[in-house]
Structure 1
């Protein structure tokens, strides 16, 4: 069922019109757990002003301690990173020259000192790298060979690395690349040594075609959005062994992003070409099972969601949208139907 604006809801505000085009959450399957209610609700108060976005929003990362939200964007003469507070106020822009074409962005924690990791798919002197910054935008270190695409591991090289995930242990997982020569998943130790490399271009199990997003759950499983093959592949985070594949949920469009919700019950996957946010039921420990869609949020055709992140403290979902050139915030429903920090059972 489509959400239709009433007379009192009509507005000339482009962002409000875009929000009104969002379809209601559609329950899929006879065993839907939502009882007619959606899992997420759009927070129309965040951000305060969409004019703060000046380019295409490719990635988003949230600090679940402070609530600060970091947005990686692209465009001519635009700041590569924007920072917003929990209330949606714009507070800072990074005007760094060390970023060419930011793609994935991740907020990592180590000894209470957070850092911001960004993958750079540019082809210039700073491209083909993964960079670590302070929360204020000071460059700390660069992984890869700046400006040089490659497949080496000693020294480590990338070709358009798509996304990075830093585990609470300090171990790092990188999917490389976003249409380049490499199609692989790389694990690095806390001291940035290569632990294992898995994958190559192909359609067989364990192979990739544009691995685009990566996440690690609490059961030592690595989830990779294998975009070009229209599937999610799962690996053991310790050994790198292949554990399973979800493909039945993505027959029409490949997954662009994967993140687990704060209650660990669902995976949030976005489909850019379909402009959909899909929630999948997370499997229990001990197996992968079959892909099961719990609900879908259908966005307007031109929104094009790209990458997402979740505030692990509040459960809020942030979606970076290339087409709409903004980040939108969705908050979870509680048992009483209001928004809050806990999901419905």
Structure 2
């Protein structure tokens, strides 16, 4: 009887130790990267713990990420002294190369590639000789095009000037949409042609329709609408891509904090929005054609405090979501649990 009691007590002690170890230490793989806890009300994504292959690649503050879906490349831009400003990965997480040419203080990125050309655009908010510009590079870091007046902020349109340009989106037609700026003189959305002529411009500082307070991210949907994360006004604003006409706004989903980044899933059914200070990603139902309807949150991914997701990008082929986190100083990759839900195959 005594032996049986001792055995039971030992088993109980063993399981108690397991519980305490799990509670205070967590799984060994998570202890190596402390910013990986997350939860979601409706499981739509899983975290890819193997991306990148080595987290030591990130040596600065990771501000933005871009995905070249055509060539399977992922670009990460980071800030810091004496570090490579741009890292180029494979979609499997292997580092291919890095470069630092003519990049001062990167803020936003966008990869725009064709079968004949691989390119990545960077918005630069630095105060040095490369700052306040929107620049186009090839995948090896060679500078191809500069928009704006390098090293000089301003409001002019001819010649074009920027002040803290936040992000851009390049359409398949090579038309360019730029949100300018991240707390600077300008609060505007500019559409440029592929020849860099201004097609239309909307915005100034304010809270009224078509006015902005820190326009921070821009994207397009599949039916010709331009979506802007109007971060300071805690809303998404929507415009017609051809005319620039204001179509409406969503604010009910952002009562706590405004959106810092916005992108659509490949099938166009969902928007994924980052909220910086809440360390949260929200998955919203996209509106039908011709009617904005109401903002509806389908699911959220809650990251730990101080992770601070800044800007995100989605792979058009796989639907994977890459999130640049300035608090955690890393980029994380989230993979759809069911590719059929998002209308693509892996």
Q: Could you say whether these structures have the same fold, taking a TM-score greater than 0.5 normalized by the shorter chain as the test?
A: yes
Q: Distance in 2 between matches of 1:80 and 1:335?
A: 33
Q: Distance in 2 between matches of 1:273 and 1:89?
A: 30
Q: Does 1:127 align with 2:144?
A: no
Q: Secondary structure at the match of 2:306?
A: coil
Q: Does 1:170 align with 2:188?
A: no
Please give the residue correspondences for 1:1-345 in structure 2 after superposition, counting only pairs within 5 Å: 6=22, 9-11=26-28, 14-19=31-36, 21-22=37-38, 24-26=39-41, 37-96=42-101, 98-110=102-114, 112-334=116-338, 341-342=344-345
CA contact (8 A) 2:137 2:143 kept: yes
Alpha-carbon displacement from aligned partner over 1:134-163 (angstroms, at most 9, x marks no partner): 011000110000111111111111001000
Q: Secondary structure at the match of 2:232?
A: helix
CA contact (8 A) 2:79 2:106 kept: yes
Structure 1: gaps of 5 or more residues: 27-36
Q: Distance in 2 between matches of 1:180 and 1:336?
A: 42
Alpha-carbon displacement from aligned partner over 1:58-115 (angstroms, at most 9, x marks no partner): 000011122210001001211110011121111111121x111000000012453121
Q: Secondary structure at the match of 1:18?
A: coil
- How much does 1:5 deviate? 8.9
Q: Distance in 2 between matches of 1:164 and 1:264?
A: 19
- How much does 1:340 deviate? 10
Is 50-59 or 86-95 further displaced after alignment?
86-95
Q: Distance in 2 between matches of 1:106 and 1:336?
A: 26
Q: Distance in 2 between matches of 1:262 and 1:217?
A: 10
- How much does 1:336 deviate? 9.0
- How much does 1:182 deviate? 0.1
The structure-2 alpha-carbon separation of the partners of 1:293 and 1:340, relative to structure 1 and needing over 3 Å to count, comes to closer
Pick the structure with more helix per residue: 2
Alpha-carbon displacement from aligned partner over 1:308-345 (angstroms, at most 9, x marks no partner): 001100111000000111100001121799x99559xx
CA contact (8 A) 2:70 2:113 kept: no
Structure 2: gaps of 5 or more residues: 1-19
Q: Distance in 1 between matches of 2:343 and 2:30?
A: 27
CA-atom RMSD, angstroms? 2.1
Q: Secondary structure at the match of 1:104?
A: strand
Please name the residue that 2:5 is paired with. Answer: none
**Larger radius of gyration between Structure 1 and Structure 2:** 2
